[in-house]
Chain A
């Protein structure tokens, strides 16, 4: 049902409803659909939602302008008008990721207006009170209220928002990773763009490893130690296919390059079989594309695997030491180089700097392992 949301919202906006009111109306229509569809499923779900949402919008408008006859005449005859189109869906993504929004606001608005999640679900997913999330969303709506719905947008801003939903979600009742994949698939259907495909491939390839990423006790399992038999081969082959089609277009971007690295990992039957030389080449591409210090740090890990820990440490020397996980990478390379004492000290240092508990615990265990006789 939620896949119908962007199209329905697009119809209302094109009929002249302002975005914030239309979005509220669609939410109300969804609530009604959840209630009535199980017993009386509609023949035309999209048509049903458009009709009900439009009525909700008119009710709300009437309530606000009871004394304005002009509104009454609008209300009488809802235009039989436009059906949902891919363009509307795309415009909605642009609007919800508008550059005037902060990333968290864009994330919240996208999940609600494009994803059709309720404020309560989004609040629970990001561990904030519902009232706080409600305000974040309504402020975001106000921020974009003056943006014309057909204003051309930048796919890159949308991709950043979807990447954030996929990568930085807490694990709650709402599966944000699955939701990000659903929204990226929907975007890929609305716009033909190799980086959209690249991001979709990246998500699929990482999602494929999800079951293997955590041990039953919730602790993180590093890539090299994962049980590759638990990787989802169907997701991997879909990811690889999507990626190959994108790469064939000859317009490389950062998501395609990241997906290529994930595909090379997915392709290795064991950690020892990993084609690190090719992975380093992709990191070189990524450095060229983004210049990101995080990419340089990950490149140093790959160099350490391809050419040995000394080479990795040499590559690390040119990376900004304030990048998150710098000490963890340093520790890893020093241990591979045989210097357990330095590695133990650096792992402990890295644990103190970790940004999340799972990583901190993992790094603490590494330090403890090296400190045990």
Chain B
């Protein structure tokens, strides 16, 4: 069993589908999109493959250490428009092939007019536990 992160960047949607931002969809289209995500999470719980799913607010703040005794420096908040990480789903599956299959399914979430938005998802394997027997 291997865990994978399906990272939703909301990247390249315009290239592949000419898809308007979500706030310009109809309310029903937004609901259908969210319902699709929830249904997929429920289905993966049922198949014993769901680990976690979270959505992130678009606005973030950059933070870094600024030396002893000083408060951290912050930059922002601002919306990162070029590469927005909108959320993720983590799965625990039998094989890489299965992970790709599920990422494809997640990418088919409906957008305007119920068409799949075909967003690019980034699929990243988790680093697991070291095996006991190596020699």
Residues in chain A within 8 A of chain B (CB atoms): 102-105, 107-108, 126-129, 131-133, 135-137, 139, 166-171, 177, 202, 206-207, 210, 213, 220, 223, 258, 261-262, 265, 298, 301, 325, 354-360
Contacts of B49 in A (CB 8 A): 132, 136
Q: Which of B85-101 contact A (CB under 8 A)?
A: 92, 94
* Distance A107 CA – B50 CA, assembled complex (angstroms): 17
B113 at the A interface (CB under 8 A): no
* Distance A301 CA – B134 CA, assembled complex (angstroms): 11
B71 at the A interface (CB under 8 A): no
Judging by beta carbons under 8 Å apart, are A220 and B47 in contact? Answer: no
Judging by beta carbons under 8 Å apart, are A356 and B127 in contact? Answer: yes
> Given A135-B46, A139-B47, A360-B127, is A167 in contact with B92 using a C-beta cutoff of 8 Å?
no
Within the complex, the shortest CB–CB distance from B41 to chain A, in Å, comes to 10
Judging by beta carbons under 8 Å apart, are A136 and B132 in contact? Answer: no
The contact of A132 among B51, B131, B132, by CB within 8 Å, is B51
Contacts of B50 in A (CB 8 A): 128-129, 131-132
Residues in chain B within 8 A of chain A (CB atoms): 1, 3, 44-52, 92, 94, 125, 127-135
Within the complex, the shortest CB–CB distance from B19 to chain A, in Å, comes to 31
A interface, over-half SS: helix
* Distance A276 CA – B24 CA, assembled complex (angstroms): 69
Contacts of A210 in B (CB 8 A): 132
Contacts of B51 in A (CB 8 A): 127-129, 132
Within the complex, the shortest CB–CB distance from B22 to chain A, in Å, comes to 27
* Distance A137 CA – B45 CA, assembled complex (angstroms): 12
Contacts of B135 in A (CB 8 A): 223, 261-262, 265, 298, 301
* Distance A223 CA – B128 CA, assembled complex (angstroms): 21
Shortest Cβ distance from B48 into A: residue: A136
Among B45, B50, B129, the most chain A Cβ lie within 10 Å of the Cβ of B129
Within the complex, the shortest CB–CB distance from A86 to chain B, in Å, comes to 28
B interface, over-half SS: loop
Within the complex, the shortest CB–CB distance from B104 to chain A, in Å, comes to 20
Within the complex, the shortest CB–CB distance from B42 to chain A, in Å, comes to 10
* Distance A301 CA – B44 CA, assembled complex (angstroms): 41
Contacts of A103 in B (CB 8 A): 1, 94
> Given A139-B47, A298-B135, is A128 in contact with B92 using a C-beta cutoff of 8 Å?
yes
* Distance A207 CA – B133 CA, assembled complex (angstroms): 10
Contacts of B1 in A (CB 8 A): 103-104, 107, 126
Within the complex, the shortest CB–CB distance from A299 to chain B, in Å, comes to 10
Judging by beta carbons under 8 Å apart, are B47 and A169 in contact? Answer: no
Contacts of A358 in B (CB 8 A): 129-130
> Given A104-B1, A127-B3, A261-B135, is A220 in contact with B130 using a C-beta cutoff of 8 Å?
yes
Given A128-B50, A128-B51, A356-B128; 4 other pairs, CB 8 A cutoff: A132-B49, A136-B47, A258-B133, A262-B135
The contact of A104 among B45, B46, B94, by CB within 8 Å, is B94
Judging by beta carbons under 8 Å apart, are B45 and A129 in contact? Answer: yes
Judging by beta carbons under 8 Å apart, are A126 and B127 in contact? Answer: no
Judging by beta carbons under 8 Å apart, are B127 and A131 in contact? Answer: no
Within the complex, the shortest CB–CB distance from A60 to chain B, in Å, comes to 22
> Given A128-B92, A167-B132, A258-B133, is A357 in contact with B48 using a C-beta cutoff of 8 Å?
no
Contacts of A171 in B (CB 8 A): 129
Shortest Cβ distance from B94 into A: residue: A102
